[in-house]
């Protein structure tokens, strides 16, 4: 990520894109330039130079303090996020990541598709990247930093790919690079042609270009060190004497929950799945766990959810320790809910869902979920209420943010585009009388009652799902009708005369308005 510092700074900057900005850090003899914008680079500013020297070339340069610690924290978060491409990710300096993608590329198509996916997803995050895939970590680093393209893939003949790169691509100390350049060995190809013993005698062990060349060509191993996984928030309690009373786990919650909530607040997280673990003296454990519909770190709510399950834990020969762990946590920023302190409606619903799930079981508390189908009876289904927050958000978005997802139709108002509030589980056959074979319906009989149609809108044509249904499936023409009494219905005709997929069309009742 060659422009990480500048791109991260630009997110919260008020400067224009054409302003010559340099990010600076404290050096031994004054400020040093840490990173430069494109406009500043065009005026001669370079990373690593002294600010006074750069201003001698262009006094209009604007110096802004850099934030190396913030940049490093961002790289660490990106390293965890990069686990989507590899199980082994290593932070590489201040602005890079190294991933072991052995046996991974086929999941994305090939190596080129993998490199393109990395670049695309970082671009969406507002970060430009240079990506290289090679048989060794050192070769990939060299190609990413000194290659002639922003994306390179080298799977064969690594030496030929590296031959034209400068010796600085071997990641040697500056003194070793200067020595090699004075000797006329300015590229890796020239260096590889020199006798190894003569090179080894001229350099110290830590500066030996032979070792660096062997690592790049795979002659010496260079294992990666993965970024340590962030441990989930956890609070622990050790007892001086084993506790056999059934109320011991509940009393332990009173001391564990405040500690866990403090950790969650510090890390801006909320619990989605919480587990109380009781450690018995015989080495066995007892676990009580609950899940929440939305992230939460409210002590009283968590205590209420876990109290009954904690009281049901069997102490056996006694508990000598307890641990409260957030097995699943999500980001939860601090926010003021309202001026009077009342919880929001979303939180109240989520707490109700949590309590019902604990009492009845999570499989018995369900919510509607949109499905990928344009057929009305297949466009929605049911999912566990606490299984996934994404599904709940998707349901809300698909319904316009309201439980009454189909607008009510008032008398005398056009019904265009409306869908019924009630959809029958199965369409029911009706008898329809109409003026012409392709005309609008005029009268129908449903459940032994005759309905004279006063108003009608349609048709809305819905084709069958040819990839799921047989070739004999017929299309539907939906009509919104209103009878003389003002009742509104959603009916459809299945098939057309002469469509070659059956006899005469059939009519069905599918939904009710109001």
Q: Each residue of 208-237: pLDDT tens digit? A: 888 889 899 988 888 888 877 778 899 999
Q: Exposed, middle or buried: residue 325 (CB in 10 Å: 0-12, 13-18, 19+)?
A: buried
Whether residue 277 sits in one domain with residue 201: no
Q: What is the CATH number of the domain that holds 314?
A: 3.30.1490.100
CA distance 362 to 355: 10
Express each pLDDT in 257-288 by its tens digit: 999 999 999 988 999 999 999 999 999 999 99
pLDDT value for 176 = 87
pLDDT value for 391 = 42
pLDDT value for 396 = 40
Contact 427, 510 (CB under 8 A): yes
**What band does 438 get if pLDDT is binned at 50, 70 and 90?**
low
pLDDT value for 251 = 93
Contact 409, 423 (CB under 8 A): no
Residues 6+ apart with CB under 8 A from 203: 176, 179, 209, 210
Whether residue 155 sits in one domain with residue 62: no
**What band does 437 get if pLDDT is binned at 50, 70 and 90?**
low
User: What range defines the domain where residue 381 resides?
Assistant: 366-398
Q: Model-level pTM? A: 0.56
Whether residue 327 sits in one domain with residue 373: no
Domain boundary among 166, 187, 217: 217
For the chain, how long is the longest CA-to-CA vector? Answer: 104
pLDDT exceeds cutoff 50 at 395: no
pLDDT value for 14 = 85
The distance from CA 466 to its chain's CA centroid, rounded to whole angstroms, is 33
CA distance 471 to 64: 67
pLDDT exceeds cutoff 60 at 413: no
CA distance 37 to 6: 6
Whether residue 188 sits in one domain with residue 269: no
| Bridge partners (DSSP) listed for residue 489 | 481, 512
pLDDT exceeds cutoff 80 at 342: no
Residue with tokens 């050192």: 138
Residues 6+ apart with CB under 8 A from 187: 163, 164, 165, 166, 167
The distance from CA 229 to its chain's CA centroid, rounded to whole angstroms, is 17
pLDDT value for 344 = 59
**What band does 314 get if pLDDT is binned at 50, 70 and 90?**
very high
Which of 31, 37, 29 has its CA nearest to residue 55?
A: 31
Peptide bond just before 459 cis, omega within 30 deg: yes
pLDDT exceeds cutoff 70 at 247: yes
pLDDT exceeds cutoff 90 at 322: yes
pLDDT value for 394 = 39
Whether residue 302 sits in one domain with residue 264: yes
Contact 257, 302 (CB under 8 A): yes
Region label for 115, one of left (φ > 0), alpha (ψ between -120 and 50) or beta (otherwise): alpha
Whether residue 93 sits in one domain with residue 210: yes
Domain-located, residue 374 = yes
Of all residues in the chain, what percent carry a pLDDT higher than 70? 90
Domain-located, residue 412 = no
Whether residue 200 sits in one domain with residue 299: no
pLDDT exceeds cutoff 50 at 501: yes
pLDDT exceeds cutoff 80 at 77: yes
Whether residue 38 sits in one domain with residue 14: yes
Whether residue 120 sits in one domain with residue 169: yes
**What band does 406 get if pLDDT is binned at 50, 70 and 90?**
very low
pLDDT exceeds cutoff 90 at 412: no
Total domains present in the chain: 5
Whether residue 130 sits in one domain with residue 163: yes
Q: What is the CATH number of the domain that holds 8?
A: 3.40.1170.60
Q: Mean pLDDT in the chain?
A: 85
Whether residue 157 sits in one domain with residue 93: yes
Query: Residue 358 phi/psi, 5° resolution?
Result: -70, -40
Listing DSSP states for 394-420 in one string gives HHHHHTTTSS--S----TTS--TT---
Whether residue 270 sits in one domain with residue 316: yes
pLDDT value for 436 = 64
Q: Are strands 285-296 and 269-280 parallel, antiparallel or unpaired?
A: antiparallel
Domain-located, residue 277 = yes
Q: Exposed, middle or buried: residue 234 (CB in 10 Å: 0-12, 13-18, 19+)?
A: middle
pLDDT exceeds cutoff 90 at 116: yes
Express each pLDDT in 127-183 by its tens digit: 999 999 999 999 999 999 999 888 888 878 888 889 999 999 998 888 888 888 888
């Amino acid at each position: 990520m060659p422009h990480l510092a500048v791109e991260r700074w630009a997110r919260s900057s008020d400067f224009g894109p054409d302003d010559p900005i340099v990010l600076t850090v404290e050096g031994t003899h004054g400020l040093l330039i840490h990173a430069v914008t494109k406009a500043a680079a065009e005026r001669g500013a370079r990373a690593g130079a002294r600010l006074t020297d750069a201003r001698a070339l262009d006094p209009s340069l604007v110096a802004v303090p850099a934030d190396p610690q913030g940049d490093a924290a961002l790289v660490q978060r990106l390293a965890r996020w990069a686990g989507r491409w590899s199980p082994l990710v290593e932070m590489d300096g201040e602005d890079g990541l190294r991933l072991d993608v052995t046996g991974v590329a086929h999941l994305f198509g090939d190596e080129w598709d993998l490199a393109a996916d990395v670049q695309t997803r970082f671009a969406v995050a507002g970060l430009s990247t240079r990506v290289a895939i090679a048989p060794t970590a050192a070769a990939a680093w060299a190609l990413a930093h000194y290659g002639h393209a922003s994306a390179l893939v080298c799977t064969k003949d690594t030496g030929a790919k590296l031959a034209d790169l400068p010796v600085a691509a071997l990641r040697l100390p500056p003194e070793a690079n200067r020595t090699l350049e004075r000797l006329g060995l300015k590229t890796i190809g020239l260096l590889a042609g020199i006798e190894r013993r003569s090179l080894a005698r001229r350099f110290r062990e830590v500066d030996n270009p032979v070792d660096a060349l062997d690592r790049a060509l795979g002659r010496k191993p260079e294992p990666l060190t993965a970024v340590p996984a962030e441990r989930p928030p956890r609070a622990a309690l050790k007892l001086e004497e084993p506790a056999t009373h059934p109320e011991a786990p509940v009393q332990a919650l009173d001391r564990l929950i405040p500690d866990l909530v403090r950790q969650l607040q510090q890390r801006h997280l909320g619990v989605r799945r919480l587990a109380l673990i009781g450690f018995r003296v015989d080495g066995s454990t007892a676990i009580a766990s609950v899940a929440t519909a939305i992230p939460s770190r409210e002590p009283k709510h968590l205590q209420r959810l876990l109290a009954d399950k904690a009281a049901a834990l069997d102490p056996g020969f006694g508990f000598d320790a307890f641990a409260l762990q957030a097995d699943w946590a999500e980001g939860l920023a601090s926010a003021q809910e309202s001026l009077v302190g009342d919880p929001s409606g979303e939180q109240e619903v989520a707490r109700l869902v949590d309590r019902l799930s604990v009492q009845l079981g999570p499989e018995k508390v369900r919510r509607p979920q949109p499905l990928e189908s344009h057929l009305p009876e297949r466009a929605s289904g049911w999912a566990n209420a606490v299984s996934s927050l994404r599904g709940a958000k998707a349901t809300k978005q698909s319904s316009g943010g309201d439980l009454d997802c189909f607008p009510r139709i008032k008398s005398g108002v056009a019904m265009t585009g409306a869908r019924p509030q009630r959809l029958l589980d199965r369409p029911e056959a009706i008898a329809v009388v109409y003026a012409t074979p392709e005309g609008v319906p005029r009268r129908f009989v449903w459940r032994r009652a005759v309905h004279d149609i006063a108003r009608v809108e349609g048709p809305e044509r819905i084709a069958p799902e040819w990839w799921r249904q047989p070739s004999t499936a017929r299309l539907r023409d939906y009509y919104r009708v209103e009878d003389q009494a003002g009742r509104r219905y959603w009916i459809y005709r299945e098939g057309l005369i002469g469509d070659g997929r059956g006899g005469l069309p059939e009519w069905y009742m599918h939904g009710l308005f109001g």
